[in-house]
Chain A
Amino acid sequence: MKLFGYVGGIGVLGPGLNDWPQAAAVLSGHQPYVAAPTILPVPAMLPPAERRRTGRVVKVALAVALEATSNAGANPERMPSVFSSSGSDGHICHEICQALALATREVSPTRFSNSVHNVAAGYWSIATGSMTESNVLCAFDASFVAGLLDAMTQIAVDRQTVLLVAYDTEYPPPLHAKRPIPDALGIAMVLTPERTASSVAGIAVTLTDESADTMADPELEALRLAVPAARSLPLMRLLAGGVAGTVVLDYLDVSRAAVQVQPCV
């Protein structure tokens, strides 16, 4: 059983990865990977009042979602989306748990509203005016493939263009010691049921028992293992190089996902 679709616009942001063109140069070996803290842009697409309330998880998700939809030349207003992340806003979670550990137990109402796992999807909908459906998922370290499978089934069944956004951010101490995600990283792609002018490659996704592919560069491999959204890096490397092939991506303990890539030339 294979799920077919086309990858259109792509967005990438992470440590040492500033956007898709630069990330593609690094992943295809044309530029060395130089690790550096993720630079998160202010989400200019939000009204100023909302902009002030957004944390790092919203910033990274909106940045890559915007890059992907811009690169696809697609209007996000009519596009269903899948947001997949291994956690919600780690800093807000820390602040709430800290407040609840005190006798006063004063939780900030804004922080509570923004503590939901679907905070990025909510702000994306507000920023784009999109009233289409958004599915918000979590599968811990398997979150990237979980999101990819949901997006690919929407394409297969409902024949719709779907925006996939996979992203993770760090927890501050002391939670960081229990969940050591080093920095914010996001990957977004516009997936279409048919080939379009902006299609980068056709993909076919299936479940497999084979083991996941790794990255040759030790620092990129460390990143792949440290951030759930970066489990997509072997696929992004293939898309960046514009070569045909099959990669196996990490998923659950009992299965992985094989992605066959055929570049659109």
Chain B
Amino acid sequence: MNPIQPLLLAEFTSTSCIGTGVAPTLASLVEQRSGLTHCDFETVKIDTHIGEVPGVDAQRLPTLLRIFDCRNNRLAELALRQDGFLDVVDDAAARWGRRRIGVFIGTSTAGIMQTELAYRARDPISGALPRAFEYGTTHNSFSVADYIRRRCRLEGPAVAVSSACASSAKVFGAARRMIESGLIDAALVGGVDSLCLTTLYGFHSLQLSSPAPCRPFDVARDGISIGEAAAFALLERPSEKANGDSILLHGVGESSDAYHMSAPHPEGLGAKRAMQAALDAAALAPGDIDYINLHGTGTPSNDRSESQAVTSIFGPTTPCSSTKGATGHTLGAAGALEAVISALAIRNGFMPGGIQTTRIDPTLTAHYIKENRRAPLRRVLSNSFGFGGTNCSLIFGRAG
């Protein structure tokens, strides 16, 4: 892949179990606090830990958009209200025009929980779903992108990217292409995925969820902790707004495993290919990357495969960690959440250590860090991989 034109990450916000908005998120990362708790979600009876965002159920949507009401869009609304993000979007619309801003949102399950609930309330005779149940504005993958474009009154192209746990990393690729093509000038990119029974029971059925808080790269790691999150960024062409402290998207690299639907390539060949493609797109060498925010889910096979892929490109010295011990695996929102965490790490000059991990697996050769490290960071790479063997690596860095 040829080098790409860097794009400005003009503003960003995130809401997850470690913080509603960037200030508490940063504080949690600095203090190495986890948001994982034992699962008491809805009627779920699984011995596992989850990363639940407080206040989602209480969040209300604007009256005119009530048809979109579901947990996923409530989480989107809650997150959009943080860090003045709605004003940021309005300001961008004034500068670029509403038709010149696209919306690209990653999600894996959107508001499928509405359908799960509707199936419990079927008509006992006809089997029909409740009359009040709306499919298109809640369950459908596009519902969250449609909600956000209407909420922000944006009129450019809009799409949901839904490739499992790589979804909201891949939105950066789709938005980058559309901006560079000239069809739009800016993009609201992000990811929203909320807790639901499908993923909690689904990962449990695959024996991929841990009873304990997940411990990425630990010798005793035994699965993921599912979390929920919404994270957004405004991506635009660099302008006079950019200065030395601005965060840029330097590279996007994508690949497929061509291996298995739910297991990563054992040697991490797809992951390696995505990281190399991101480096090529950014015109950077492996030594230019100061820190890697790993996909690091905490399953035995994922961490092994990713460690091999990382080491094969970066060797055993580039510091890396997974922040999923803090946030849980937020699935389709993980790419955008970890893009925000990467941007916070660059802006505040620290590498977030991987919490929950006590003894690093000695067979994993990547340089995993458990404690926070203060260091000026110029370039950070963030990995997101998903079911179906879909991989995406992003590189962020300082403009100056």
How far is A96 from B270 in the complex, measured between Cα atoms in Å?
29
What's the least CB distance linking A116 to chain B, in Å?
Answer: 5
Measured CA separation A234–B45 after assembly (Å): 50
- A101 within 8 A of partner (CB): yes
Chain B 325-347: CB-based contact to A (< 8 A → 1; otherwise 0): 00000000000000000000000
**Given contact pairs A131-B255, A131-B273, A138 touches B120 in the complex (Cβ within 8 A):** no
Cβ A158 vs Cβ B1 within 8 A: yes
Given A122-B387, A149-B183, A174-B127, are A138 and B162 also a contact pair (CB < 8 Å)?
Answer: yes
> Most chain-A Cβ atoms within 10 A of its Cβ — which of B112, B207, B256?
B256
- Chain A residues with Cβ below 8 Å from B206 are 109, 112-113
Interchain CB contact under 8 A, B183 and A175: no
Q: Is the CB of A130 within 8 A of B390?
A: no
Q: With a CB–CB cut-off of 8 A, which chain A residues contact B143?
A: 140
How distant is A87 from chain B, measured CB to nearest CB, in Å?
7
- Asked if A97 is at the interface of the complex by the 8 Å CB criterion, the answer is yes
B97 beta carbon closer than 8 Å to chain A: no
Let me know if B390 and A139 touch, CB within 8 A.
no
Q: Shortest CB–CB separation between residue B280 and chain A, in angstroms? A: 12
Give Cα distance in the complex from A255 to B115, angstroms: 29
> Known contacts being A115-B202, A116-B388, is A177 close to B128, with CB within 8 Å?
yes
In the bound complex, how far is the Cα of B207 from the Cα of A125, in angstroms?
Answer: 25
Q: Tell whether, in the assembled complex, residue B108 and residue A117 are in contact, meaning their CB atoms are under 8 Å apart.
A: yes
CA distance A153 to B254 in the complex (A): 16
A161 adjacent to chain B (CB < 8 Å): no
Would you call B202 and A112 a contact (CB within 8 A)? yes
Are B257's CB and A136's CB within 8 A? no
Interface presence of B96 (CB below 8 A): no
Main secondary structure on B side of the interface with A: mixed
With A3-B181, A97-B116 known to touch, is A126 a contact of B157 (CB < 8 Å)? no
- Name the CB-closest residue of B to A149: B157
Determine whether the beta carbon of A126 is less than 8 Å from that of B260.
yes
- Closest chain-A Cβ to B301's Cβ sits at a distance in Å of 14
Q: How far is the CA of A131 from the CA of B274 in the complex (A)?
A: 10
User: Does A128 count as interface, using CB distance less than 8 angstroms?
Assistant: yes
A235 within 8 A of B: no
Interface residues on A, range: 35 or more
Chain A window 177-206, contacts with chain B (Cβ cutoff 8 Å), 1 for yes, 0 for no: 111000000000000000000000000000
Q: Which B residues are CB-close (under 8 A) to A53? A: 261
CA–CA, A128 and B1, complex, Å: 21
- Quick one: which of A87, A113, A207 has the most chain B CB within 10 A? A113
Interface residues of B in 203-257 (CB under 8 A from A): 203-207, 254-257
Among candidates B119, B142, B387, residue contacting A116 with C-beta atoms closer than 8 Å: B387
Decide yes or no whether A31 CB sits under 8 A from chain B: no
- With both beta carbons as reference points, the residue of chain A lying nearest to B110 in the complex is identified as A138
Produce 1/0 per residue, B1-39, CB < 8 A to A: 110000000000000000000000000000000000000
Q: Smallest distance from the beta carbon of B308 to chain A beta carbons, Å?
A: 16
Q: Which of B55-63, B171-179, B285-293, B309-317 contacts A (4 or more CB under 8 A)?
A: B171-179
- For A77, give the chain B residue with the smallest CB separation: B258
Interface residues of B in 101-144 (CB under 8 A from A): 108, 112, 115-116, 118-120, 122, 127-129, 133-136, 140-143
Give the Cβ gap from B386 to chain A, nearest Cβ, in Å: 7
Closest to B166 in A: A118
Q: Enumerate chain B residues within 8 angstroms of A149, measured Cβ to Cβ.
A: 157, 178, 183
Supposing A3-B183, A116-B388, A157-B177 touch, asked if A125 and B257 sit within 8 A by C-beta, the answer is yes
Query: Which B residues touch A136, using CB under 8 A?
Result: 161-163, 388, 390
Which residues of the other chain, A, contact B162 by a CB distance below 8 angstroms?
88, 116-118, 136-138
Report B160-203 CB contacts with A as 1/0, cut-off 8 Å.
11111000001001100110111100000000000001100111
Q: Establish whether residues B164 and A116, one from each chain, have CB atoms under 8 Å apart when the complex forms.
A: yes
Measured CB to CB, the closest approach of chain A to B174, in angstroms, equals: 6
Cβ of A150 within 8 Å of any chain B Cβ, yes or no, is yes
Closest to B135 in A: A178
What separation, in Å, do the CA atoms of A87 and B162 have in the docked complex?
10
**B160 to chain A: which residues have CB within 8 Å?**
137-139
Q: Are A87 and B140 in contact (CB under 8 A)?
A: yes
Task: Across the interface, name the chain B residue whose C-beta is closest to A108.
Answer: B205
Closest 4 CB pairs of A and B: A122-B388, A133-B254, A112-B202, A117-B162
15 CB-based A-B contacts, threshold 8 Å: A3-B183, A100-B116, A100-B201, A101-B116, A112-B198, A116-B164, A125-B258, A126-B260, A131-B256, A131-B258, A134-B163, A137-B161, A143-B142, A158-B177, A179-B136
